[in-house]
Amino acid sequence: MGGGIQTDGYRVKEGEKVDLNNWSPDDTSTFAGAEAEAIEESKRLTLRLEALQELLYAEHKHKVLIVLQAMDTGGKDGTIRKVFEGVNPQGVRVAHFRVPTPEEADHDFLWRVHRQTPGNGEMVLFNRSHYEGVLVERVHRLVPEETWSRRYKEIAHFEKLLHEGHVVIMKFYLHIDAAEQKRRIQERLTDPAKQWKFSLSDVQERELWSEYMRAYEDALQNTSTDYSPWYIIPSNKKWFRDLLVSSIIVESLEKLGMEYPKISVDPKSIKL
């Protein structure tokens, strides 16, 4: 039988320089078992996450923000579907960040993001996030360099504000390589059940792969902190991606030492 999984090696340390060429998207080395065993372990973690999320909601004390970023086809939707399939929708919310609306564009780039952050007892999943401001907007030159380069510090201050407001932050970059992306796009073109996912923009953005890798490297190394860490998740193998993300989230929630609130009356005094 295999063993558990070591997660700390996937965390970007504060101030660490990131070269994504040194992070293999195929890596599964920290799990000592096979794919079938990993899937079973993921199911166990899903049940544990379900219980912890229920506790988070009941205690109504902590707030949890989970950020998912990836290249197109990187697996953000799949991660949400697999990792969070057992959670209570009453206490979990997914926020998507697409092209800003005219109203959002009239404000600073963090305005629309702050409105989506979690309240007490809530877990919020960002499917894309405020990091689009240093990724898409940088790569497509939608803002000048002096603007996007300033945003790393603004993001760090924003996330520190959230942390000081008792928000637990976990950020996941789902790391695939260009060959795996090509395979997944081709699958979308040929599989009738997946054709609805295909977008020409996936092909167009693919031409900017190198620029995106540089943008991701800068974002990861400039905004990973002790209170708001980035994790680089090898994601060519979906089963390992799900296992690793689940493991990190469960570990982080267990460290909170959450407890169910005590009843405010003596149960023996209640007559039914």
How far is it between the farthest Cα atoms of the chain?
70
Q: What is the pLDDT of residue 270?
A: 81
Residue 269 lies in a domain: no
Residue 196 lies in a domain: yes
Q: Which residue reads 């260009």 in tokens?
A: 178
Residue 12 lies in a domain: no
Residue 3 lies in a domain: no
pLDDT in tens, 54-94: 999 999 999 999 999 999 999 999 999 999 998 988 899 99
How many other CB atoms are there within 10 angstroms of residue 138's CB atom?
23
pLDDT in tens, 181-214: 999 999 999 999 999 989 898 899 999 999 999 9
Residue 202 lies in a domain: yes
Listed in sequence order, the DSSP H helices in 106-262 are 111-114, 136-139, 145-164, 178-190, 200-206, 209-223, 238-254
Structural domain boundaries, residue 69:
18-255
Residue 272 lies in a domain: no
How far is residue 77's CA from residue 69's CA, in Å, rounded to a whole number? 10
Q: Is 49:212 a contact under the CB 8 Å cutoff? A: no
Q: Write the CATH number for 135.
A: 3.40.50.300
pLDDT in tens, 101-159: 999 999 999 999 999 999 999 999 999 999 999 999 999 999 999 999 999 999 999 99
Question: Per the structure, how many domains does the chain have?
Answer: 1
Q: Is 219:135 a contact under the CB 8 Å cutoff? A: yes
Local confidence band at 1 (pLDDT 50, 70, 90 cut-offs): very low
Residue 271 lies in a domain: no
H or E element, residue 55: helix 35-59
What's the pTM? Answer: 0.94
Torsion sign across C-alpha atoms 15, 18, 24, 25 = positive
Q: Is 124:93 a contact under the CB 8 Å cutoff? A: yes
Residue 212 lies in a domain: yes
